[in-house]
Structure 1
Amino acid sequence: MPQIALSSGAIDYQDTGGDGPVLIFCHGMPMNETQWRKVVPLLNGYRCILPTLPLGGHRRPMNRDADLSQRGVALLVGEFIERLGLDGVTLVLNDWGGAQFLVSEGKSQRVARLALVACEAFDNFPPGPAKAAAAVCGVPGGVWLLTRLMRIPWFRNNRNGYGGMSLRGIPDDILDDWFAPATRSKAIRRDFAKFAASAPKRETLLAWSERLRDFDRPVLVVWATEDRLMPREHGRRLAELYPQGRLIEIADSSTLVPEDQPERLAEVLTEFLVETGAGPVREAG
């Protein structure tokens, strides 16, 4: 897997290559690029790039002094796009919604459109049921404890935690892979804790949200009708907040729409891209 050196450390990424419009896929905590494993193969004609962000599932630790706050990681996404020399990208989020802060920080010039899929928004950082886990991660040894608890079926399958993120259930091998780096590495646990405990106060989050009105490019908001973490009304509010926002709800899905409804998600994402001038590039033949 290729890697790229950023100001806070090196990160891994996958790149399908090709001449199609560029889609940047961001994942949740402590996930990695496999969150999108069912969707990317359905997007023929697009160049899909999937950075493994330092949200706790990353495989190499960041610099000890790295800013891994919500704002800091958002700025890393912008730096990643810039370092690859990309313009006119479509930024696709699911679960973690912090990359929207590129807009509030005035760093979204290279982003042509957003696709926000059942993600954190407004003051829902972290989502309600995840607040307890974030609090645990904020105390010494908390991440170590969380990795141990995730080995216990009743905990990992709890509907108020990771068990509630997918109606289909996250496969054990995928979930194990997401938590493996923090299980093995003290430095990764340090990074995990820094991010998990970084949510700003409610007033700050709402002030940042107001700045999203400045993003005057197309925005697709995809929300799951049976989501336990992301309030359903947040989908409507996000679509109304962005000047060119549009909302599509997907039934029979929880937060991880790429897990529960990958075909439907790829369909609505492709329709949005085509309608906003980013149709797929088909190989001649």
Structure 2
Amino acid sequence: MTRTESLGQEHRVALEQGEVRYFERGSGRPVVFVHGVLTNADLWRAVVPGVADAGFRCLAPDLPLGSHDIPMRPDADLSPTGAADLIAGFLEALDLRDVILVANDTGGALTQIMLARHPERVDRVVLLPSDCFEYFFPPIFKPLPPLARVPGSMRVLAALLRLRALHGLPILFGWVAKRPLPPEVVESYLWPPGRSAGVRRDLRKLLRGVHPRHTLAAAEKLRDFDRPVLLLWGSEEKLFPIRLARRLAELLPDARLVEVDDTYTFISEDRPDVVVRHVVEFASVMAD
């Protein structure tokens, strides 16, 4: 299954920060899928077809988070707030309204920051296991921000990402997906930093700015976010403990938590059928 076939037609949109590639499939109310660091739209390849077939317009961008192929402008702000503004800019550039946002991992943190700054185009949100509160990043990935401040470190990181012996370790995919990822998907995630100095520059900008102050500040503002939020969280989650989801459910005025078994962080990889079912049910309530 290639990206074009599963995610839909490829498009590009010009934003303030640079050109962003995205994939679109289906028609109806817009559902925008947000991935995290060192993944891209491929994260949603097994989810988009089912949601689109249920009558929704699915859009999955390749955000500049390290696994994209189109570098942003050299002066682009890709700090966590800058990346959150880029997501808001994507919705604005395509004039998307009443959006259902579906976000995972770092993409969930950026979504929370975006909602705290630019919530106006969003109608409801589905958060899969994501950075939040003090977990930005989770403890195992805490060394990445200081590493990104070391000159030349992204070139070394890009070389390490290509070592297949590391792919199953917790520092890569061992704790995010319960089952091995297809080789072509791993390549689409991990090869771009090695191919492009611009991609490495974009990744470094994001990593250098990661700090819990961003997610903690967003959480305070989200106390007033009164639109519906569905929290889909793995009961076996290793990176983002279920207690974080419970805190989010208590914080958000209109939130519901659903625990999913037999999965880690990437529920769209381990249990795509569950993600499709819950997203469609949650989004369809709005349509009634």
Fold shared per TM-score above 0.5: yes
Are the structure 2 counterparts of residues 209 and 229 from structure 1 closer, same or farther at C-alpha, using a change threshold of 3 Å?
Answer: same
In structure 1, C-alpha distance between the alignment counterparts of 2:148 and 2:180, rounded to whole Å: 24
Pick aligned residue for 2:39 from 26, 31, 37:
31
Q: SS of the counterpart of 2:232?
A: strand
Q: What whole-Å deviation, never above 9, does each CA across 1:230-266 have from its counterpart, x for those lacking one?
A: 1210111111111110000101100000000000111
Q: SS of the counterpart of 1:163?
A: coil
- The answer to whether the Cα contact below 8 Å between 2:12 and 2:22 also exists between their aligned partners in 1 is yes
Corresponding position of 2:111 = 99
Which 4+ stretches in 1 moved above 6 angstroms? none
Q: What whole-Å deviation, never above 9, does each CA across 1:173-225 have from its counterpart, x for those lacking one?
A: 2111112221111111111111112113x345323211111111110011011
Pick aligned residue for 1:42 from 31, 36, 50:
50
- The answer to whether the Cα contact below 8 Å between 1:103 and 1:214 also exists between their aligned partners in 2 is no
Q: SS of the counterpart of 1:93?
A: strand
- The answer to whether the Cα contact below 8 Å between 1:27 and 1:93 also exists between their aligned partners in 2 is yes
Q: SS of the counterpart of 2:189?
A: helix
List runs of 5+ in structure 1 lacking aligned partners.
Answer: 280-285
Farther-moved stretch of structure 1 (169-178 vs 235-244): 169-178
List runs of 5+ in structure 2 lacking aligned partners.
Answer: 1-9
Farther-moved stretch of structure 1 (133-142 vs 65-74): 133-142
Equivalent position amino acid for 1:25 in 2 = F
Corresponding position of 1:140 = 151
Pick aligned residue for 1:159 from 156, 163, 170:
170
Corresponding position of 2:6 = none
Pick aligned residue for 2:273 from 244, 255, 263:
263
Pick aligned residue for 1:236 from 242, 246, 249:
246
Equivalent position amino acid for 1:34 in 2 = D
Q: SS of the counterpart of 2:253?
A: coil
Q: What is the TM-score with the length of structure 1 in the denominator?
A: 0.92
Q: What whole-Å deviation, never above 9, does each CA across 1:41-62 have from its counterpart, x for those lacking one?
A: 1111110001111101111111
Corresponding position of 2:61 = 51
In structure 1, C-alpha distance between the alignment counterparts of 2:187 and 2:39, rounded to whole Å: 10
Farther-moved stretch of structure 1 (126-135 vs 67-76): 126-135
- The answer to whether the Cα contact below 8 Å between 2:34 and 2:61 also exists between their aligned partners in 1 is yes
- The answer to whether the Cα contact below 8 Å between 2:145 and 2:210 also exists between their aligned partners in 1 is no
- The answer to whether the Cα contact below 8 Å between 2:113 and 2:215 also exists between their aligned partners in 1 is no
- The answer to whether the Cα contact below 8 Å between 2:41 and 2:62 also exists between their aligned partners in 1 is yes
- The answer to whether the Cα contact below 8 Å between 2:162 and 2:191 also exists between their aligned partners in 1 is no
In structure 2, C-alpha distance between the alignment counterparts of 1:160 and 1:56, rounded to whole Å: 15
Corresponding position of 1:126 = 137
In structure 1, C-alpha distance between the alignment counterparts of 2:241 and 2:95, rounded to whole Å: 36
1:2 aligns with 2:11: yes
In structure 2, C-alpha distance between the alignment counterparts of 1:203 and 1:214, rounded to whole Å: 18
Farther-moved stretch of structure 1 (76-85 vs 263-272): 263-272
Q: What is the TM-score with the length of structure 2 in the denominator?
A: 0.91
Corresponding position of 1:116 = 127
Are the structure 2 counterparts of residues 28 and 204 from structure 1 closer, same or farther at C-alpha, using a change threshold of 3 Å?
Answer: closer
Equivalent position amino acid for 2:101 in 1 = L
1:16 aligns with 2:25: yes
In structure 2, C-alpha distance between the alignment counterparts of 1:138 and 1:249, rounded to whole Å: 37
